[in-house]
Structure 1
């Protein structure tokens, strides 16, 4: 397809484009549903490792057909990758090997440095837009997909300058139309900030859930006494290890840095209780209250 046709394919008033989602789960499924709702995608092709996911996505109307990767790419305009980050790297390279100049490729991975490093010298690197929509739930699979899930959230676009301007413009238009606020970062900076904001939250939730499961042997008591605070804190503990172990592995150094600080903070609370230093405990909690101002801008 020629350069002039490229703009027409992705023009909303042209009837929509063909979307291929690689990985048929929460993020890709929600992306597909939202693009259908907004009139961007006229046809969605799903690529999945499992037949069960493909069939579920077809039943739910998330995808219109399921195909092997190479066939799906040949029929698609935009390829959106939403699979565990350890698989994203080799799959992205494979996809870049298969595309031509009219395709646009984007991903939704929670880490960016390893991916961007792996594809930086690929001759078709410019057709790739590395993104991270900062949204998700503790659920997984196509049945977890929702309409309008991205609205009001932020999306990070990494290494914008290494992507073709038309490819970036299409992806920016899609995310902003879905109601997302765009943030631009280099891949390494993204992973540092993601460790501080997102990844440590998941580790904390996993560890709290394990603490309660280890100490509280009466499951009925957990069910009966768990209030809103506990439920909201351990909500992320229901997230899939298949998603999060690869993220923790790729972002290991940044996570170790923030984990060391987190452990230091926990030790301060422990020391206050051991020494009955409730004045300092008050100071620690009051200082933590400042996060409200940060979150509210």
Structure 2
């Protein structure tokens, strides 16, 4: 089986690792605009060879793991280059625009719009983790637009990697992911910014930072090159989530100013119900 990974980062590299483990007869080819990433991927044995678009007609699978702004430019070119029996799937964190740019492509039937909900705050080939997708949800959009035989090929692969499958339309995906992923990244970035600005005047602040701070600000280490295009593509939904989030922050601030500690207690106690939801979400391996 020939697998071409376009974008050898955390997700692309982790998929390469797991495919090699589950299908040892596979040959993994790497395509990346960053030559250092390709060399690193070779040295880490994530890929077997470097490749280019001219070789995509040899692919059984093409995995597209590049920033979403680049993806909307490259996906049509990738579909132009593949064979009729090739499965192309992306791993982008937005779906509406990605699905739209290929909706009228002659090889739309070869494309499967995916979003594996897995990852860490790290990036690049060295961030790749074996078993990253075990028990994680992979959201698939518009599966009915993919040829049935190719659907089966992809679903068999996802099952081997231990993924749970969930089907959504692109608009619903982008709305919900804004709340559970995109907003948390913004919160982390802005908390980090607030602390960095304060640290200029109070050097002791980082000596006092414990595990709570570390876990909350962890996502601020994520790649701006990846996340800026995500916020741009999902702007409408992200702005709406920010509006609601800022409203809640203002309400909390007002209760604190008013010494309404009973209200604060009730607010936090009500929010504790989130534990029931999070108990069903498997943690990423570190």
- TM-score past 0.5 threshold: yes
TM-score class, shorter: over 0.9
Does 1:81 pair with 2:81? Answer: no
- Cα distance, 1:220 vs structure 2: 5.1
Local SS of the residue matching 2:26: strand
Distance (Å, rounded) in 2 between the aligned partners of 1:219 and 1:250: 37
Structure 1 residue aligned with 2:271: 288
Which residue number in structure 2 is paired with residue 36 of structure 1?
A: 20
1:31-70 equivalence runs, <5 A:
31-39=15-23, 42-70=26-54
Provide the C-alpha distance between the structure 2 equivalents of 1:81 and 1:218, rounded to a whole number of angstroms: 44
User: How many corresponding residue pairs?
Assistant: 280
Partner of residue 26, structure 1? 10
TM-score (norm 1): 0.91
- Distance verdict in 2 for CA 1:78–1:170, change over 3 Å: same
Name the TM-score, length of structure 2 as normaliser: 0.95
Deviations 1:244-282 (A, max 9, x none): 000000000000111000000100111011111111111
Counterpart of 2:172 in structure 1 is 189
Would the aligned equivalents of 1:19 and 1:41 in 2 still touch at CA under 8 Å? no
User: Structure 1's 161 and 51: CA in aligned 2 closer, same or farther, altered over 3 A?
Assistant: same
Hey, what's the Cα distance between the residues in 2 that align with 1:185 and 1:32? 25
| Deviation readout 1:220-257 (Å, 9 max, x if unpaired) | 53432111111000000000000000000000000011
SS of the residue 2:45 aligns to:
coil
Asked if structure 2 preserves the Cα contact closer than 8 Å seen for 1:195 and 1:255, the reply is yes
| Aligned 8 A contact 1:27 1:82 in 2 | yes
Gaps of 5+ in 1: 1-16
Deviations 1:39-65 (A, max 9, x none): 166100000102111100000000000
Larger mean Cα displacement after TM superposition, 215-224 or 189-198 = 215-224
Task: State how far apart, in whole Å, the 1-side matches of 2:163 and 2:147 are.
Answer: 21
Question: What runs of 5+ residues in structure 2 fail to find an aligned partner?
Answer: 281-286
Contact persistence 2:59–2:83 (CA under 8 A): no
Three-state SS of the structure 2 residue aligned to 1:269 is: helix
Q: Kindly report the root-mean-square deviation, in angstroms, between the aligned alpha carbons of the 2 structures.
A: 1.3
Measure, in 1, the Cα distance between the counterparts of 2:24 and 2:177. Answer: 29
| 1:131 match: secondary structure | strand
Q: 2:85–2:150: 8 Å Cα contact kept in structure 1? A: no
Change (3 A) 1:41 1:261: farther
